[in-house]
Chain A
Amino acid sequence: MISLTSPVRTRAHDWPVGLKLAALCMATVLLFKAQSLWVHAGAFAGMLTLYRLPGPVFFRAGLRALRVLWPFVAMLVLYHLVTRTPYVGGVIVLRMITAVGLATLMTMTTQLSDLIAVVRWLATPLRALGLKTAYLETAIALVIRFTPVLLAKGTKLIDAWRARSPRRPGWRIILPFTVLALDDADHIAEALRARGGFDAMKE
């Protein structure tokens, strides 16, 4: 499955994940505290610089990831022009883009395995309490493995519908789709039990 990580490897990929996450949290809190347009303009320019540093390929991938914000930007600009509050509008628009941009930057420059390691570390207190975090780790692996499988099954159902009906595939497709997911869950549970189940997993 495709992930949202960057197409090119950057120096930031090697930085410690915990540090990056902490910096991101701090930056986001500060962004929502600051009310000056100049601070936000500076932060926005800084964010763009960070995107530009690893080269044009990375820059374009980053802009693609931020595309979803355009409808909101258009709406906000229109609203603040009509109400004649361009200063407040500028702060809100820049803050929104910078906050989403920085978080996306974190996602683009961090490998999935590194982030899963952070989740495992965050779950340490749970293990200390005697809870098995193997459940969580198995569940994460199952979702990553079975989303493409379900997606393929859903697409096949839609193809089957299209082969038989001139109308668009309708909501009725969701029933067999959900039944397929329930049956898969049954089979996987059986397969896990046949291999000793969770009791066989070492912490």
Chain B
Amino acid sequence: MEKNVTLIALFAALIAALGLIPQIALPFGVPITAQSLGIMLCGTVLGAKRGALAVLLFLLLVALGLPLLAGGRGGLGVFTSPTAGFLVGFPIAAFVTGLITEKWRKGPLAVSAGVASVIGGIVVLYIFGIAGLSMVLGKSVPEATALVSAFIPGDILKAAIAGMLTAALAKARPASVLSRA
């Protein structure tokens, strides 16, 4: 029990730290914050339930006013801002990512975790994010989609990285990759 709680708490802190460390370059030199990579890793490493709990804990602290979102944002204001849909989608994205990683056990972990990250961390997340944008900005769904489509290629890269990282973590610390425990 203690290990579950500390893993969930440390991953919540990891999501924050990934969003706050100076930007790191993805392959092809795209500099983006790694916060959504943290959401994907929560699912692929901790599994569906614990991954979603870690993300919920992270969001609870953001709501309490800690500046943990990328760029040092936080507080209740972010939940009424145009990007609030993405925050609502975060825990569900982590859950779906974790569920797919847990259930799909054939083939290499890098592939299943990568595909899980694409479905959970991109498809599911963007459904919520786009719905939120269209509600707050009063725009149609295709218009809101056009607004965020520029970020999708970067997120596909992050999903691939999440897959590789999960496989590497399963080798380095097999006991801590709970999605395959």
Contact = CB atoms under 8 A, between A and B. Distances in A.
B161 A171 contact: yes
Interface in A154-197: 154-155, 158, 167-171, 173-175, 177-179, 181-186, 188-189, 192-193, 197
**Best-surrounded residue of A100, A106, A171, A193 (most CB of chain B within 10 A):** A171
B169 A178 contact: yes
B156 interface: no
Given A171-B27, A175-B169, A178-B41, A24 B14 contact: no
Nearest to B37: A174
Interface residues of A, number: 72
Contacts of B76: 24, 103-104, 106-107
Interface string A76-109: 1001000000001001100010011111101110
B20 interface: yes
A102 B26 CA distance: 37
Given A68-B73, A92-B137, A170 B25 contact: yes
Interface stretch (B5-13, B92-100, B118-126): B5-13
Nearest to B160: A171
Contacts of A10: none
Interface in B9-30: 9-14, 16-18, 20-22, 24-27, 29
Given A4-B75, A147-B17, 8 more contacts: A24-B76, A66-B77, A72-B81, A92-B138, A100-B80, A143-B12, A150-B14, A184-B6
B89 to A, nearest CB: 18
Interface of A: 1-5, 24, 28, 65-66, 68-69, 72, 75-76, 79, 88, 91-92, 96, 99-104, 106-108, 110, 112, 115-116, 119, 135-136, 138-140, 142-144, 146-147, 149-151, 154-155, 158, 167-171, 173-175, 177-179, 181-186, 188-189, 192-193, 197-198
B12 A116 contact: no
Contacts of B64: 112, 115-116, 119
Contact of B10 (A28, A142, A175): A142
Contacts, number: 202
A68 B81 contact: yes
B24 A139 contact: no
